[in-house]
Amino acid sequence: MRVALASELEASLREFGVSAAIEIRESGRVARLSRLSYEVRGSGEKPPLHLWSEEYNVTRRVLAITVHSEQRLALAVERFGRSKPDLLEFVRVEFGQSEREILRQAFCARLSRLNFSASIRHVGLISIVEVAGRLTSFESGALRNSIAQLLKEGHKQIVLNLSRLDYLDSSGIGVLVYTYMSVIKRGGEMKVVGLTKRVEEILEITQLHQVFQEFQDEQSAVSSLAPSGSKGARILEFPSTKN
């Protein structure tokens, strides 16, 4: 007679020792934990598994145990409200790793999941920078470095396409202002294309919509840029606030 999945799961978790230092992987996300508690609830065909620690708390329905080795335990799981199965993995952390190494690996894991990109292409002497994803304190350095590299290479006429920008916070706003000023100080020009409604609202609230000259499409923004040096750049001026 086949052992019930709940009992088999309980035995596998106990034998693997998830209460020790482990790494949990699911859908591209990685969590490094020094200690993890668990509870197998019920004894049905898809027993719920509750996992928790100070920084981690999830519950999944377990469909099957797919891998059980000394270094790795993998479960086919189902999230509540979803029919598509996922893979939940427990990987044993090697002993002797320093706290610095653990933090470095966690940083690399986070970096690999960044929802941000800044692609660059050129139309004659004009550089088009297309920004996609989120622009927050963690991603802002990538955009700042991209613009700095363009300026270093002598590209001073820039169109910033934000049509695929989903979200920006105060740090994202700050880097937009910083890059604009960097271009202006080098005698260049920067035009903005494709502000989404959400991003436009944020710029209006901060009154920065009066700073960035927006165009409906890339073609009109490119056409507005004069040959290098033929006309002066617009000076950055913040609107005054009346009492």
What domains are defined for the chain? 5-111 (2.70.180), 116-224 (3.30.750.24)
8 A C-beta contact, residue 154 and residue 199: no
How long a stretch of residues is the chain? 243
The long-range contacts involving 186-190, CB below 8 angstroms and separated by at least 24 positions, are: 186/151, 186/156, 187/156, 187/229, 187/233, 188/151, 188/156, 188/157, 188/158, 188/228, 188/233, 189/156, 189/157, 189/158, 189/225, 189/226, 189/233, 189/234, 190/158, 190/159, 190/160
What is the spatial distance between Cα 4 and Cα 47, in angstroms, rounded to a whole number? Answer: 10
pLDDT digits (tens, 9 = 90+) for 100-132: 555 555 555 554 445 778 889 999 899 999 998
Has this prediction a pTM greater than 0.85?
Answer: no
pLDDT digits (tens, 9 = 90+) for 196-210: 777 777 777 766 767
Average pLDDT value for residue range 79-89 = 81
Q: What single DSSP character describes residue 231?
A: S
Task: Give which of 214, 225, 143, 218 is closest to 187, Cα–Cα.
Answer: 225
Between these two residues, 85 and 159, which has the higher pLDDT value? 159
Q: What's the confidence (pLDDT) of residue 96?
A: 46
- 133: pLDDT strictly greater than 90: no
Q: What's the confidence (pLDDT) of residue 103?
A: 59
Instruction: Locate 86 and state its tokens.
Output: 């996922």
Burial of 11: CB neighbours in 10 Å, binned 0-12, 13-18, 19+: middle
Q: What's the confidence (pLDDT) of residue 102?
A: 55
- 235: enclosing H helix or E strand: none
- 38: pLDDT strictly greater than 80: yes
- 95: pLDDT strictly greater than 50: no
What is the spatial distance between Cα 112 and Cα 103, in angstroms, rounded to a whole number? Answer: 14
**Collapsing DSSP states into helix, strand and coil, what is residue 101?**
helix
Instruction: Locate 39 and state its tokens.
Output: 């509870």
